Amino acid sequence: METRVVGSYRFILDFSQPIYEQLVQQFRQMLAKGEIELGSKLPSVRDFAVQMKINPSTVVRTYQELERDGLCEKRRGQGTFITSSASQVSELRKEIAEGALGSFVRTLQILGVTREEAQKMIAEVDWK
Amino acid sequence: MMNAAIRFHGVGKSFKKKSVLDNISFTVPRGEVYGILGENGAGKSTMLKMMANLCLPDQGEIEVLGQKPSWELYQKIAYLSDRAKWYSDYTVGEALQYGKSFYPDFQMERAEELVEFFKLDRKLLGKEMSKGQEARLQFLLCFSRDVELMLLDEPFSGIDLITREKMIELIIESISERELTLVITTHEIDEVEGLLNRVSFVKDTKIVVEGEVEELRLKSGSLKDLYRGVYA
């Protein structure tokens, strides 16, 4: 694992997994957590690649993936921008939370924990 | 196939009856950074020399930029090898002039920028350079050329960290700005882990693993893991 910084973004790279998937994943997390300002400009492909020490094609692929999910948009001659749609981001936040909830439920089911027991556990957990 | 910068088909080579390459086939797509990895003496440099027309195969066929390797083609390729030290008696400034007179595609303006980028002293004499300074000059001369294909033979071997980082930065900048195919031989994985699009591992005269790096990560982990798996 290696930490690499690009402007205000901090990424953790694990070279045993596809790089573009990690970048997409970490961008999604940062967005959902509200760490990226809506409508802000992403670094140019060149700057991103140079600072991350990765192939520019990996950056292009990352931006394309985010664009496909409606999380950023390319403006001709201006660069790539994070979506300015707050509903898009709350949608993403919900999606990530539901994913986490799904795996939480599956784990408890495997352990034989009932819905009632689980609800009690959540109610009692230290939510800080 | 016009999308291939380089194609090897069934290439074999022997020196003094000892086989160094056996039935090598692979394709380097245009615009990609291709790594040929392997230990010293695995035949990596021989593969690069063949692409540059400095060595002919005994068997098989090679295509570079859609043509058979030739002297005309060689002039359209930037080939970097540690052995070519023609600049010993020149200063950095003179080496640039020499580069300009030698290569029609040499971009003097770019070269001047790169002297700054690499923090080289124009008056520094070739034979008085440290290994790092030499590497900087060689890279500068190579990347000042307006070519479609660059062949870099062990560019990072024995070079200090700061110079290596500058080299990587220059490579990434260059491929961000124009379509350029790069073939790099190396046994130092750290430098190229994030850089390569495709890779082949050469061992005992053969290619033992070949493929797209992101796909290989999914199947077998990092290039370093793969390297250990192949050579340990």
Smallest Cβ distance to A46: which of B173, B194, B223? B173
Write out the residue range of the structural domain in which residue A110 sits: 87-124
> pTM for the complete prediction?
0.91
Kindly give, in sequence order, each residue whose CB lies less than 8 Å from that of residue B107, ignoring residues fewer than 6 positions away. B144, B145, B146
Query: Is A20 in the same domain as A50?
Result: yes
Which structural domains are found in chain B, ordered by start?
Answer: 4-231 (3.40.50.300)
In a shared domain, residues A15 and A76: yes
Cβ–Cβ < 8 Å for B66, B30: no
Lowest-confidence range among B11-15, B82-86, B125-129? Answer: B82-86
Distance CA(B210)–CA(B201), nearest Å, equals 6
Residues A20, A41 within the same domain: yes
> Does A18 lie in the same domain as A79?
yes
Q: CB-CB: which of B169, B197, B225 is closest to A50?
A: B169
Structure confidence at residue B82 (pLDDT): 73
Express each pLDDT in B38-59 by its tens digit: 988 778 999 999 999 999 999 9
Q: How confident is the model at residue B132 (pLDDT cuts 50, 70, 90)?
A: very high
pLDDT band at B2; cut points 50, 70, 90: low
If asked whether residues A70 and A19 sit together in one domain, one would say yes
Instruction: Collect the ranges in chain A with pLDDT lower than 50.
Output: none
Inform me whether the C-beta atom of residue B179 falls under 8 Å from chain A C-beta atoms.
no
pLDDT at residue A37, rounded to an integer: 94
Same domain, A50 and A96: no
What does the pLDDT read at residue B23?
94
- Tell me, what's the ipTM? 0.89
Does residue A74 sit in the same domain as residue A102? no
What's the average model confidence in pLDDT over B217-224?
92
A43 chain-B contacts, CB cut-off 8 A: none
Count how many domains chain A has: 2
Shared-domain flag, residues A99 and A41? no
The pLDDT-based confidence of B183 (bands split at 50, 70, 90) is very high
Asked whether the predicted pLDDT for residue B1 surpasses 70, the reply is no
Confidence of residue B84 (pLDDT cuts 50, 70, 90): low
Check which CATH number belongs to the domain holding A53 and give it: 1.10.10.10
- A80 lies in the same domain as A91: no
A103, burial (CB in 10 Å: exposed 0-12, middle 13-18, buried 19+): exposed
